[in-house]
Amino acid sequence: MNNIYKNLKDNGVVLTKDFFSEAEISEVRNQYDQLDKKLTNKDIYKEKPIIVFWKHVQGEQKRIATFDEFPALWSLINKKIVPFVKKATNTDHEIQLLETIIFNKPTEVSNTLHWHQDVAYFPLKPNNQVAVWFPLEPVNQKRGALNYALKSHKDGIKGSTDLHTRKPFDNENRDLIPEDPAKAGYEVRCMEMTNNDILIHDGYTWHYSGPNKEEGYTRRGISVRFIIEKAVFDPRPGQGAAFTKQLDLKAGDPFEGKPFPSL
Ligand SMILES: O=C(O)CCC(=O)C(=O)O
């Protein structure tokens, strides 16, 4: 059994140091910055995977790009991230790309993205996903790093809430993540990272990011999520992720389609 797999199973999250080279990250950062300046599209494409540009500012609308506009990220996903996810999940079959989001936290105006569990927002059965996350520049607590409740992935499915306000979505009847998991007995770890590091977390693991309070620094973090086991569409209220608008499926249909390629 490899260490990343064991650690992911035990703790629900693993930080791997020095995973990317400086050249890999600077190419992605340069393409991101160019695209961010000119991107205005808000329509969701149904024929291809999308990249969601999400500024952590309440009221801001998400913008949508494709990998045709961001080839360096597509190459990084295929060459480095997919093999890493397969190793970390001990998988030798193809995995499906679910969604890619770039979270941007400008200084000061940016706000907290509250405690959540990714799978609570996803219409899938079985609900078996993992996500990787990496910053384009070093992050720490002051800069809005991610914080995780270790081993919380073992506590089952939780309710989905508005990530900015913590208000549960309508018809949400599942238990919610406690307001302060540390007080509930969990070890909470702030993941300080350089821009060469990568995190991988189980879709059930609770996490949040605080505001970016560092003057002159814009925190950009890329999250890529994968389905690691064949799933069917299992809709329920409160699942508002952008990719749900890419779907043309009925409950029970295999979760497949051009926006969610097998890699
Ligand atoms: O980048 C962030 O601040 C939040 C990322 C996150 O919560 C996620 O990828 O699920």
CATH number of the domain where residue 207 is located = 2.60.120.620
**Whole-number mean pLDDT of the chain?**
93
Smallest CA separation from ligand 1 atom 10, residue: 118
- Say yes or no: CB of residue 207 within 6 Å of ligand 1: yes
pLDDT category, 1, cuts 50, 70, 90? Answer: low
State pLDDT tens for residues 125-157: 999 999 999 999 999 999 999 999 999 999 999
- Say yes or no: CB of residue 223 within 6 Å of ligand 1: yes
Q: Which of 181-190, 205-214, 248-257 has the lowest mean pLDDT?
A: 248-257
Residue 24 lies in a domain: yes
- Say yes or no: CB of residue 186 within 6 Å of ligand 1: no
- Spatial separation of the C-alpha atoms in residues 35 and 198, rounded to whole Å: 22
State pLDDT tens for residues 34-78: 999 999 999 999 899 999 999 887 778 899 999 999 999 999 999
CB 87 within 8 A of CB 100: no
Output the CA 132–ligand 1 centroid distance in Å: 10
Smallest CA separation from ligand 1 atom 8, residue: 223
Phi, psi of 57 (to 5 degrees): -135, 125
Which residues span the domain enclosing 229? 3-246
Residue 137 lies in a domain: yes
Smallest CA separation from ligand 1 atom 9, residue: 223
Report CA dihedral (55, 60, 62, 68) to the nearest 10 degrees: -60
**Token pair of 10, please?**
């035990």
Residue 262 lies in a domain: no
Highest mean pLDDT of the ranges 14-18, 110-114, 172-176: 14-18
Residue 259 lies in a domain: no
Model pLDDT, residue 4: 96
Residue 253 lies in a domain: no
Total structural domains within the chain:
1
Output the CA 205–ligand 1 centroid distance in Å: 12
The position carrying tokens 């919380």 is 152
Residue 252 lies in a domain: no
pLDDT at 238 over 60: no
State the closest ligand 1 atom to the C-alpha of 105, by its place in the atom list counted from 1.
3
Model pLDDT, residue 58: 72
- Say yes or no: CB of residue 257 within 6 Å of ligand 1: no
Model pLDDT, residue 250: 87
Q: Which of 222, 209, 192 is nearest to 74 (CA)?
A: 222
Output the CA 162–ligand 1 centroid distance in Å: 13
Output the CA 223–ligand 1 centroid distance in Å: 7
State the closest ligand 1 atom to the C-alpha of 223, by its place in the atom list counted from 1.
9
209, 217, 226, 239: residue to mutate for ligand 1 pocket, most atoms within 8 A of CB: 209
Question: Vertex 154, ends 142 and 211: CA angle to 5°?
Answer: 15
Neighbours of 228 (CB within 10 A): 22
pLDDT category, 249, cuts 50, 70, 90? Answer: confident
**pTM, to two decimals:** 0.95
- Say yes or no: CB of residue 210 within 6 Å of ligand 1: no
Output the CA 149–ligand 1 centroid distance in Å: 14
Neighbours of 257 (CB within 10 A): 18
* DSSP of the chain: --HHHHHHHHHSEEEESS-S-HHHHHHHHHHHHHHHHH----PPPSSS-EEEEEESSTTPPPEEEEGGG-HHHHHHIIIIIHHHHHHHHT--S--EEEEEEEEEE-TTT---EEEE-GGGG--EES--EEEEEEESS-B-GGGT-EEEETTGGGG-----B-TTT-PBPTT--SPPPPS-TTTTTPPEEE--B-TT-EEEEETT--EEE-----TT--EEEEEEEEE-S--EE---TT---GGGGG----TTSB---TTS-B-
Could you tell me which residue, 191 or 108, shows the higher pLDDT? 191
Residue 255 lies in a domain: no
pLDDT at 231 over 70: yes
Could you tell me which residue, 166 or 151, shows the higher pLDDT? 151
Could you tell me which residue, 170 or 179, shows the higher pLDDT? 179
Half-sphere exposure of 62 (CA within 13 A, CB side): 17
pLDDT category, 167, cuts 50, 70, 90? Answer: confident
Could you tell me which residue, 83 or 108, shows the higher pLDDT? 83
- Spatial separation of the C-alpha atoms in residues 7 and 27, rounded to whole Å: 30
Smallest CA separation from ligand 1 atom 4, residue: 209
Neighbours of 6 (CB within 10 A): 13
- Say yes or no: CB of residue 212 within 6 Å of ligand 1: no
Residue 240 lies in a domain: yes
